[in-house]
Amino acid sequence: MNPTDLSAGPLAGLRVLDLSTMLAGPYGATILGDMGADVIKVESPYGDESRHLGPKRGEERGPYLSLNRSKRDMVLDLQQPDAQAVFQRLAETTDILITNIREPALSKLGLDYEQVRKHKPDIIWIRVTAFGADGPYAGRPGIDFLAQGYTGVLMLNGTPDGEPVRTGFPAVDVMTSLLVSNAALAALRARELTGEGQRIEVSLLDALMHAQASSIGTYLATGDRPQRTGNRSLYFAPSGVYPTRDGKHVVITTPGEKFFAKVCRALDSDWDTDPRFHDINARLTNQDELDRVMSEATRRFDREELVAKLVAADVLTAPINDVEEVVKDPQILHNRMIVPVEHPELGRIDVTGIPIRFYGTPVEVRKHPPMQGEHTREVLAELGYGAAEIETLIGAGLVADHIELRRQRAERRAKRAAAADPS
């Protein structure tokens, strides 16, 4: 393509191989695909682990569908030595490779940096690990939950007198995915200047330490130990969750005197003249009483009425939405953070959108989350394999397309059924 034609997005013309599974690596590749890169998800015959977890829609699983838009998919069995020739040809066309495979499996599959670099000397090679590429925890398995334990996030989350609580969504994985895409873009810039690719390592542990600049960082700077505050703030009050007449809740927070005054006027109170609440230090000292009188006031209104009243008064507030309300929120929909794509078997599916708005080089969700092996034949043809060669590769089990995988699964089901039937 014309190198200046970016109508398909700012990364148009670049190729990314996604050899990672689950969340952090795949979602990082997804962001690159949203920005126009040709992302090819390379799966084993077993497939990404997220294809086997969570609620189903048709033959697909929710976690997989939610994370893997804007990609094509091929199945390549790298455990078979003869598949390396196919991988070499694919790697030669690639700009960025993303993996989260641990050693020694990484090298056995021919995927470590030096092995891939032989096929493409200027490859940008990115690996996600749990704890780091080296050091005392290197090589250990790990997920989001463990990183929250090691970095103390579990101790900071929850109510002050309660047990440690993990975040309710995979925050560490999502943050790591953003670092993956950010690292890829920086490495592309360096390659543009030097002509050289490089090895990059990103870990869940480091991502979460980076995210704690305001808590761990403050401790390092001042010696002040972070505290678990629940929904309250360490630095100002009121700040929390308040009940409404219809059994729902809102968030109200006041990072500054002017915002507290606005709350007082909106709720028809004179708390800002009360000695117990007249400045931030007094309010922090008397938070229990302040929350009590605040809750009495907010209970006079239904949630939507209260939010409208507070927003009109320029108060920092938000409803606490449940998931059915989130997907209908007018600002979220306006921002195109939920967008439809057409799936060849499932029809319309809605996926989360792109959290970056480009005004010069458009980005959009361009492809549905691919079925396993959906594009195997297409990619092989682009690599120069003829139709007969592709059939030979499929017949030898080195690659598989979606139809062949379906056939194999049906065959396994039939065998299990026959084994379970004593007659």
The yes-or-no answer on residue 173 being catalytic is yes
Contact 260, 339 (CB under 8 A): no
One-letter-per-residue 3-state SS of the chain: CCCCCCCCCCCCCCEEEEECCCCHHHHHHHHHHHCCCEEEEEECCCCCHHHHCCCEECCEEHHHHHHCCCCEEEEECCCCHHHHHHHHHHHCCCCEEEECCCCCHHHHCCCCHHHHHHHCCCCEEEEEECCCCCCCCCCCCCCHHHHHHHCCHHHHCCCCCCCCCCCCCCHHHHHHHHHHHHHHHHHHHHHHHHCCCEEEEEEHHHHHHHHCCCCHHHHHHHCCCCCCCCCCCCCCCCEEEEECCCCCEEEEECCCHHHHHHHHHHCCCCHHHCCCCCCHHHHHHCHHHHHHHHHHHHCCCCHHHHHHHHHHCCCEEEECCCHHHHCCCHHHHHCCCEEEEEECCCEEEEEECCCCCCCCCCCCCCCCCCCCCCCHHHHHHHCCCCHHHHHHHHHCCCEECHHHHHHHHHHHHHHHHHHHCCC
Strand pairing of 338-343 and 198-203? Answer: unpaired
Token output for 165: 């609580």
Between the alpha carbon of residue 56 and those of residues 23, 65, 288, 375, the distances in Å are 17, 10, 45, 22
Active-site residue (options: 173, 206, 274, 329) = 173
Contact 237, 212 (CB under 8 A): no
Closest to 99 in 3D by CA, of 120, 77, 84, 116: 116
Which residue, chain included where needed, has tokens 């870990």? 203
Enzyme catalytic residues: 173
